[in-house]
Amino acid sequence: MLLVRDLSIAAGARTLLTGVSFSIQKGDKVGLVGPNGAGKTTLLRTLAGRLPAPHGTITRSGVVGYLSQEAVLASVHDETALERILTAREIGDLERRMESVRSGMETATEEERDRLIMKFSRLEDEFTARGGYLAKAEAKRFAYSLGIGSDELDQPVASMSGGQRRRVELARVLFAETDTLLLDEPTNHLDLDAKAWLMQFLGEYAGGVLLVSHDLPLLDASITSVLAAGDRRIEPFRGDYTNYLVERERRHEQRLRERKHQEAEIERLSEGIRRFKGSTEKMARRARSWETRVERMSSELVDVSRETRKINVTFPQPVPSGKIPLNAVGLAKAYGHNVVFIDIDVVVDRGDRLIIMGLNGAGKTTLLRILAGVESPDIGEVDIGYRVSIGYYAQEHEDIDPDRTVIEHMNDVSGLPERELRSLLGLFLLADKVDQEAGTLSGGEKTKLALARLVVGRHNVLLLDEPTNNLDPQAKGALLDALRSYEGTLILVSHDVEFVSALEPRRTIIMPEGASDYFDESMLELVSLA
């Protein structure tokens, strides 16, 4: 259970939410919605105890599980995905210690081996008593349901892509024995089957859930009420997301009518004040009493939320590159014994719109990182063409330093005057955050910062890895419009079916085989499985 009373949260000197009060009881399934930057992620971090609450109180009862937007790295460098999931019930460490003792037996002396056998026996008894073997099977079931294959379970988390790590962390949070779940964009990097399983799990989950997501079908299927963040407050709504949209509009219309009536009454009284203030003493006294009423009514005007500000994304038309901006031959990549792909060729023509597709773990992100020069192939090479300027969008924002300010990130990639950079950030709705450290931004705001950095770079080749993750619908539409009018070369990784369909890519590469083909609508099903 969570009980929140008169909570206020801030990012730096900027107040995000104030006077927040609500509760999450057993069985409650609550969707937390609102535009990027409204304070949803900061609120979840605060509720989870990751950030202090400067004002108000938070009462937690039972075990609270929290899924962050960030892809968590393993605390132990060689910790595998399965070991990471098992740590949710404190049996992962036991299994690791058992394996360490077992390995030590192989080289130990006879006397030392006897001691290790006894130690192993004690550890195994404890592991069994805690339900370790049954829990291990259950952890694997959670992993498989979220699209984590058996090979990935044995892979070190540190060598995984951001998307893989996010799925591992989601499996870990759901596997834990919790009473309340705080989930921040849990469907990022999930295919359709995994999303369907997650919706069923949340529907059957006995505890309370507070969920942040821009995945509208998930919200409709999984929640029973809505908390809407905006204008520095939280407003509660009963029912699912569709009902929230209808009720929000009804409330807005009602507030408009009340505001119009109040303003008309203020105008009527103000007219009387103007007419009688300088007349007889009796009427002047009445006018002064009207002034008091007008002052009180003006301070009590019904708040009519302003229209949601809109992001404005435009990619400047770049200087043309050579005819073949990228040519990769015989690429291969492996992490330890895990071979991601071999013998991949990528030839991109100027102005191409290419989408890299494949199932989770097929190497899409790895290939994009190699093309961007962020990572090196084990075999093969990438030839960068004439006058090519590459802009790379990393799905987990690895190029954004949480300890540096927004404006410092812009100065890193552009020599434009700071006044122009601040103006550009305003188009991305980041004008009031330019001096904040990037680590205080929400996932959607980090996405906007990364896109703003691409814009000022004036690149003629864009490599985009899941650019719509964490974006609200309006920002996603603005990005789509900008990319459709962009005349440079575009290489995309995305699981967003609507976004890919509207963008209309020309060619595709299907991983891990690397087969190249022309894109058509029939391939959208594979996009949804990515």
pLDDT recorded at residue 302: 66
The per-residue pLDDT for range 473-491, each reduced to its tens digit, is: 888 888 999 999 999 999 9
255 and 347 fall within a common domain: no
Residue entry with tokens 């949209």: 245
Question: 480 lies in a domain?
Answer: yes
DSSP string of 500-517, one letter each residue? HHHH--SEEEETTTTEEE
- Does one domain contain both 45 and 190? yes
- Inside any domain, residue 446: yes
pLDDT recorded at residue 256? 82
Please determine, for residue 306, whether its predicted confidence score (pLDDT) is greater than 60. no
Regarding whether 228 and 348 lie in a shared domain, the answer is: no
Q: Say whether both 254 and 338 belong to one domain.
A: no
Mean pLDDT for 435-450 is 86
Tens of pLDDT along 136-175?
888 999 999 998 888 888 888 887 877 788 899 999 999 9
Among candidate residues 208, 243, 259, the one where a domain is terminated: 259
**CA-wise closest residue to 512 among 344, 321, 315, 302:** 344
Same domain, 429 and 342: yes
Find the helix packing angle between 192-204 and 132-145, rounded to 10°. 130
CA distances from 6 to 19, 22, 42, 56, 233 (A): 4, 9, 16, 5, 11
- Domains of the chain: total: 2
- Point out which residues pair with 379 in neighbouring strands: 332
In a domain, 158, yes or no: no
**429 and 524 assigned to the same domain:** yes
pTM for this entry: 0.73
Could you tell me if 249 and 338 lie in one domain? Answer: no
Q: Are 251 and 69 in contact (CB under 8 A)?
A: no
| Domain end call among 200, 226, 259 | 259
pLDDT given at position 309: 65
**Nearest CA-CA partner of 23 in 47, 46, 49:** 47
Range of the domain at 505: 326-529
CB atoms within 10 A of CB 108: 15
CATH at 355: 3.40.50.300
pLDDT of 193? 83
Domain identity same for 210 and 335: no
Residue 381 lies in a domain: yes
Bond preceding residue 505 cis, omega within 30 of 0: no
DSSP codes joined into one string, 45-58 = HHHTTSS--SEEEE
223 and 333 assigned to the same domain? no
Contact between 452 and 430 under an 8 Å Cβ cutoff? The reply is yes
pLDDT of residue 392: 95
- Token output for 54: 């400067």
Range from 46-50, 300-304, 443-447 carrying the lowest mean pLDDT: 300-304
Confidence of residue 278 (pLDDT cuts 50, 70, 90): low
356 and 251 both lie in a single domain: no
| Predicted local confidence at residue 96, as pLDDT | 72
Tell me how crowded residue 424 is: count the other CB atoms within 10 A of its CB: 20
Structure tokens, 403: 């300890």
Residue 109 is assigned to a structural domain of this protein: no
Same domain? For 250 and 332 the reply is no
For residue 293, being part of any structural domain is answered with no
Torsion-angle region of residue 70: left (phi > 0), alpha (psi -120 to 50) or beta?
beta
Question: Is beta strand 233-238 parallel, antiparallel or unpaired with respect to 225-230?
Answer: antiparallel
Say whether both 250 and 350 belong to one domain.
no
User: Could you read off the pLDDT of 48-61 as tens digits, one per residue?
Assistant: 998 888 889 999 99
Q: What percent of the chain has pLDDT over 90?
A: 37
- Where a domain ends, among 215, 231, 259? 259
